[in-house]
């Protein structure tokens, strides 16, 4: 599998601490991989 194929399959989970840095990271990474964002107040059930 080449590097481009691995990137297309990548999924990245972010924990949002309610700041602009998280927003900027998600915006950048979402151009290259699937992303999911959970708030830092998420329950265990929401994380699963």
18-28 confidence digits (pLDDT tens): 989 999 999 99
Q: What is the pTM of this model?
A: 0.67
What distance in Å separates the CA atoms of residue 23 and residue 6, rounded to the nearest whole number? Answer: 24
Would you say residue 39 has pLDDT above 70? yes
**Rounded to whole angstroms, what are the CA distances from 11 to 2, 33, 36, 45?**
16, 6, 8, 19
Rounded to an integer, what distance in angstroms lies between the CA atom of residue 38 and that of residue 16? 6
Q: What pLDDT is attached to residue 47?
A: 82
């Amino acid at each position: 599998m080449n590097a481009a194929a691995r990137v297309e399959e990548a999924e990245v989970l972010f924990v949002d601490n309610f700041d602009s840095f998280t927003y900027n990271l998600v915006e950048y990474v979402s151009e290259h991989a699937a992303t999911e964002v959970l708030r830092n107040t998420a329950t265990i059930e929401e994380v699963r």
